[in-house]
Chains A and B, each alone.
Chain A
Amino acid sequence: MTRPNIFNFLAAIALGALTMTLPARAQERFIVVQSTTSTQNSGLLDVILPEFTSKTGIEVRVVAVGTGQAIKNAENGDGDVLLVHAKPAEEKFVAEGWGVKRYDVMYNDFVLVGPAADPAGIGGSHDVVASFAKISETASPFASRGDDSGTHKAELKLWSEAGVDVAAASGSWYRETGSGMGATLNTGIGMGAYILTDRATWISFGNKGDYEISVEGDPRLFNQYGVILVNPEKHPSVKAADGQAFIDWLIGSDGQAAIAAYKIDGKQLFFPNAG
């Protein structure tokens, strides 16, 4: 037997791993944006961010999670900029000193999607609150995000306007997936449930099955996005100058034009409305 050396074996693997050098990262100047799944899943950020990077040399690293988690991460200082869609929560974030200032960026709207069979008989309605009441009356399945995201908050507000106590129905016709928008669409479509989703995610979603938009065009379905610089006084690690440069670009004419130009199948997904 040769000299005992188990690490010969490991060394072979180690060598393999170490020789696999990744191409060196060109961009060392970067900011982290805490954002929501809808901006990423819709493909918007993939298209507009390279324009900003090529202009300024600042790479934008996006962490896409639910609005609730994005705000929490930003409060922990794990991001330079917050780009989400839950205005009351954003204003609270700024009021408590976590953020510097909130700017409107763009809007789209929520739509209520449902199976072609339309068990609640709400297809074509423009009154989302009445439709929610009908879903509850007929006990038709409804899939909720249930994750404290912007969409979830908007949905809960509509239920309360409809006078429905969804907590009591949880687990019966009202089903909380506790997941992102895409995962909730996959689950909800699988169980034939109605789902409230932002229009951008819906248009770009690839697994629609026989689903159609049941309710749209109600002013209460308005969905506003805001952008906030994380307060460098709370977290000195925040890259304030580069973060503000990104915000200025996003709400300036170049960023707004880039947002308006983003289309899927000829449909505009987000409507710029800064300033």
Chain B
Amino acid sequence: MNNFAESFSVSLRLVFLGDAELWAIVLLSLQVSLTAVILACLIGMPFGAMLAVTRFPGRRPLVVTVNALMGLPPVVVGLLVYLMLSNSGPLGVLQLLYTPSAMIIAQLILVAPIIAALTRQTVESLNEEYADQLRSLGVTHLRSVPTLLWDGRFSLATAVLAGFGRAIAEVGAVMIVGGNINHVTRVMTTTIALETSKGNLALALALGAILILIALAVNAAVTLLDAVSRQVSYV
């Protein structure tokens, strides 16, 4: 097994020689997954916070459902989105199948429950802590949502990263709805799957190493942002 040594030199070569094709794939991966995560935050955070501060019949089952949806199998989501976007499906007229937009939709469905469930958890704890104080100031349940989200921002950053991790690492859904089309919908994970199936294990492993580096870079950036914003808030 000299795949490890070989893949190490392959990945170094790819990174430092700045292979244009590779960077286009990396860029598309980031664009698709970051867009999906941002959209998931815009939907999942308000929804999760609303679940945390309000009380209504059927709330418990809804919380359990959202938690369970964190375990959605990507390949099933891919299949559902394919059936919706197919020319034989209800949304076929949109002509989104085999485009990056289709991949964003699939990843959004995978990531939104993660953001919503973790936001619900964070905000619920904070709400218990601050409930009396907020009520004494006359803040109603829903009006307290922005304050609670702001106070929970450091924990929520972890939720965002969990969602990003899910999106960038996922292959089953984007393979089906994107089609792994060269120069159009080929991302890091589908490239790795393709090179593995060609038997180019060293190259596949090298691409995997680059994917891990990207995940590290994104996490480091968020941690840095987190540290800076802590200083700003507490000085």
Report which A residues bind B (CB closer than 8 A): 1-2, 4-6, 8-10, 12-14, 16-17, 20, 22-23, 25, 32, 37, 40-41, 46, 61-64, 73, 75-78, 179-183, 185-186, 204-208, 235, 237
Across the interface, do A61 and B184 meet the contact criterion of CB distance under 8 Å?
Answer: yes
Complex CA distance for A75 and B199, rounded to whole angstroms:
31
CB distance from A95 to the nearest CB of B (A): 19
- Some 21 contacts from A to B, beta carbons below 8 A apart, are A1-B233, A6-B146, A6-B149, A9-B157, A12-B225, A13-B34, A16-B34, A17-B30, A17-B31, A22-B24, A25-B184, A61-B98, A76-B88, A77-B87, A77-B88, A78-B88, A78-B97, A78-B98, A182-B198, A185-B199, A206-B199
CB distance from A145 to the nearest CB of B (A): 12
Contacts of A204 in B (CB 8 A): 198
Please pick, from B24, B87, B157, B184, the residue contacting A76 in the complex, using a CB distance under 8 A.
Answer: B87
CB distance from A16 to the nearest CB of B (A): 7
Q: How large is the interface on B (under 10, 10 to 19, 20 to 34, 35 or more residues)?
A: 35 or more
CB distance from B13 to the nearest CB of A (A): 17
Query: Nearest 10 A-B pairs (CB), nearest first?
Result: A182-B197, A77-B87, A207-B199, A4-B150, A206-B199, A63-B179, A17-B34, A6-B149, A76-B88, A205-B199
Q: Does B52 contact A (CB under 8 A)?
A: no
Please pick, from B27, B86, B160, the residue contacting A20 in the complex, using a CB distance under 8 A.
Answer: B27
Please pick, from A5, A40, A64, the residue contacting B146 in the complex, using a CB distance under 8 A.
Answer: A5
Across the interface, do A20 and B199 meet the contact criterion of CB distance under 8 Å?
Answer: no
Closest to A43 in B: B198
Given A2-B233, A6-B156, A183-B196, the answer on whether A22 and B31 have CB atoms closer than 8 Å is yes
Please pick, from B30, B198, B199, B225, the residue contacting A9 in the complex, using a CB distance under 8 A.
Answer: B225
CB distance from A30 to the nearest CB of B (A): 8
Contacts of B35 in A (CB 8 A): 17
CB distance from A274 to the nearest CB of B (A): 24
Given A64-B180, A235-B87, the answer on whether A10 and B41 have CB atoms closer than 8 Å is yes
Contacts of A40 in B (CB 8 A): 194
Closest to A12 in B: B225
Across the interface, do B30 and A46 meet the contact criterion of CB distance under 8 Å?
Answer: no
CB distance from B204 to the nearest CB of A (A): 10
Q: Does B72 contact A (CB under 8 A)?
A: no
CB distance from B231 to the nearest CB of A (A): 13
Closest to B221 in A: A16
Contacts of A16 in B (CB 8 A): 34
Contacts of A1 in B (CB 8 A): 150, 233
Q: Does B227 contact A (CB under 8 A)?
A: no
- Find the residue from B87, B149, B153 having the highest chain A CB count within 10 A: B87
Closest to A180 in B: B197
Contacts of A181 in B (CB 8 A): 197
Across the interface, do A22 and B27 meet the contact criterion of CB distance under 8 Å?
Answer: yes
Contacts of A17 in B (CB 8 A): 30-31, 34-35, 38
Complex CA distance for A82 and B211, rounded to whole angstroms:
33
Across the interface, do B38 and A186 meet the contact criterion of CB distance under 8 Å?
Answer: no
Across the interface, do B201 and A206 meet the contact criterion of CB distance under 8 Å?
Answer: yes
Given A4-B146, A61-B98, A63-B180, the answer on whether A77 and B86 have CB atoms closer than 8 Å is yes
Contacts of A10 in B (CB 8 A): 38, 41-42, 160
